[in-house]
Chains A and B, each alone.
Chain A
Amino acid sequence: MTLLSTPRSTTKDVAIALQTSKASTRKERLFQLFLLFSTLVGLVILVVLLVDIVVDGFSSLDLGFFTDYTSRRPEDTGIRAGLTGTLSLMVLVALIAFPIGVGSAIYLESFAPRTWFTRFMQLNITNLAGVPSVVYGLLAAALFAYILNFGRTLITGALALVLLILPVIIVAGKESIKAVPPSIYQGAIALGATPWQAVYKQVLPVAMPGILTGTILALSRAIGEAAPILVAGAVFSRRADSEPWNLTEPFAALPVQIFDFVKRPQEAFQVEVAAAGILVMLFVLLLMNSAAIVLRNRYSK
């Protein structure tokens, strides 16, 4: 039979071919070492930073630090204004940016006519995600603080951050929606669902974990920004009697307060108090990211 008569490699050939070549194993090892090294660099730097901050800042972290407004004396100063300001900003930004961002993402991905104009808009939104944050602060200052006359207030600061993260939310939302298999949409449509029912009840729930993660990560980036809210009107200290939730009041925020501590002349402020502020900030960010994970897990079940 032809099948049997075709020349076959001998057992010896095969044994040689199957042997691991020494050169390739060495390359493999080297590459793995490099990967391990890169991971360690990041990790070590992070640990060193954290340890340094904890050592510097821990002593200043007492209850008073959370409940007091800023003071000229390092031992009396507190971060209350920044903390309440940041929390208010967070809630406001989330409330405004999430619906608008997700709405645009749904529209652009599922409903917008595929015209050159839509493509042009999508391209622009992607580009906007890369614009430096201070530019959004300037825009908000000009548009909201002066032209619309909101003043340098909490709402202006929040809107600056909304502008900053909207493109990020839209892009993340679009990607999450796009990642949903089209067969799900088609399945719903074939059952006589309207396009909106198909998107809202079947596509969106599948995309939601991705959208939420994107949104919360964007939000935690926004919360850490000092530049845009500084330009849009954040202040370093606030009166003890002003309400943190008042949209039309001046506001403080954690990153701005930390910035303020660092540039004061006393070393106690520059080192200990600033480090304590950073610890609080890190804790807030950690909380947000945990919330992202919890939310995502609940949704994906």
Chain B
Amino acid sequence: MTETYREINLSSNHRTTEDTMPQVQETVFSLQSVGIKYGDFSAVSNVNMEIYKNQVTAFIGPSGCGKSTLLRTFNRMNDLVLNSKVVGEVAYQGKNIYDQDVDPVEVRRRIGMVFQQPNPFPKSIYDNIAFGPRNHGVKEGIDDIVENSLRNAALWDEVKNKLKSPALSLSGGQQQRLCIARSIAVEPDVILMDEPASALDPIATLKIEHLMRELAAKYTIVVVTHNMQQALRVSDKTAFFNLEVDEEKDTRTGVLVEYGPTTKLFTDPKNEKTSDYIKGKFG
């Protein structure tokens, strides 16, 4: 993938580039028959998809269809949930991250996550960002890492004079950008975001969305959102998930219904369910 592609991607309407540029898409994640169970309950079944480098991929779908669950398998955060079990293959750069010899800590270093509720550590702004790099043994140049991360998260100007003040004194939107800055600080490849703007007001939301577009130049982003407009504004690819109900067995499980370029999915969905959902008929 070339630099120019990224620049165009940033400066002009990014989605038009998709049609004009050659489709060189480097795969970051490749999911094969992925299913996730909580105990006996199958939350997500049989997902096959690829996530592409330097793109924003949006997950949409009704509540409870397993978007968060699937997102958490990308960096093995599901390991923290007792009784959760992943089947199939979640390949990151060709390597199944659920293989026996994979260290989940290393996975999470490369694949960061931003949560729905901003969750800064109850420490200073500075320490929030320094925590990650320090853990990974970085001793020199922490100041620079802090500054760069905050700049990249479009927060530097707002906090540069109060780096030592408590992170919890920031506004919700600032806290969320701090959490993004914090995950950038460990130089990940991929940033997973689970409804990162759902707790924020419209202006803070726009800032986060703008930020996602900018970050896509350097990182691969997967974002869960309930906001269709948001998916349309920020993402290159959109995946629509839905609940599949089995009346006989009385079970419901999340499945991937449709996946493709965002403009295509929103203007010309192949599946009737997708079109109903994006028109707001259910969800």
User: Which residues does A use to contact B, with CB under 8 Å?
Assistant: 114, 181, 183-184, 186-194, 197, 201-202, 205-206
Whether B135 contacts A197 by the Cβ 8 Å rule is yes
CB distance from A140 to the nearest CB of B (A): 38
Contact-size category for B:
20 to 34
Whether B186 contacts A187 by the Cβ 8 Å rule is no
Whether A186 contacts B77 by the Cβ 8 Å rule is yes
Q: How many A-B residue pairs have CB under 8 A?
A: 62
**A183-B115, A186-B80, A187-B179 known; A193+B135 contact, CB < 8 A:** yes
Q: Which of A183, A190, A205, A206 contacts B183 (CB 8 A)?
A: A190
Whether B77 contacts A193 by the Cβ 8 Å rule is no
User: Which residues does B use to contact A, with CB under 8 Å?
Assistant: 75, 77, 80, 82, 105-106, 108-110, 112-113, 115, 117, 119-123, 131-132, 135-136, 179, 182-183, 186
Whether B105 contacts A192 by the Cβ 8 Å rule is yes
Contacts of A186 in B (CB 8 A): 77, 80, 115, 119
Whether B77 contacts A192 by the Cβ 8 Å rule is no
Whether B115 contacts A206 by the Cβ 8 Å rule is no
Q: Which of A114, A181, A188, A194 contacts B131 (CB 8 A)?
A: A188
Contacts of A184 in B (CB 8 A): 119, 121-122
Whether B132 contacts A183 by the Cβ 8 Å rule is no
- Nearest-neighbor residue (CB-CB) of A183 within chain B: B119
- Nearest-neighbor residue (CB-CB) of B109 within chain A: A192
Whether A190 contacts B136 by the Cβ 8 Å rule is no
Whether B108 contacts A192 by the Cβ 8 Å rule is yes
- Nearest-neighbor residue (CB-CB) of A197 within chain B: B135
Whether B108 contacts A191 by the Cβ 8 Å rule is yes
Q: Which of B106, B117, B123, B132 contacts A191 (CB 8 A)?
A: B132
**A188-B131, A189-B80 known; A194+B119 contact, CB < 8 A:** no
**Besides A186-B119, A192-B132, 5 other A-B contacts (C-beta < 8 A):** A187-B115, A188-B131, A202-B131, A205-B123, A206-B122
Whether A192 contacts B119 by the Cβ 8 Å rule is no
Cross-chain pairs A/B with CB under 8 angstroms, 18 sampled: A183-B117, A186-B119, A188-B121, A188-B131, A190-B75, A190-B77, A190-B115, A190-B183, A191-B112, A192-B105, A192-B109, A192-B135, A192-B136, A193-B105, A193-B131, A194-B105, A197-B135, A206-B122
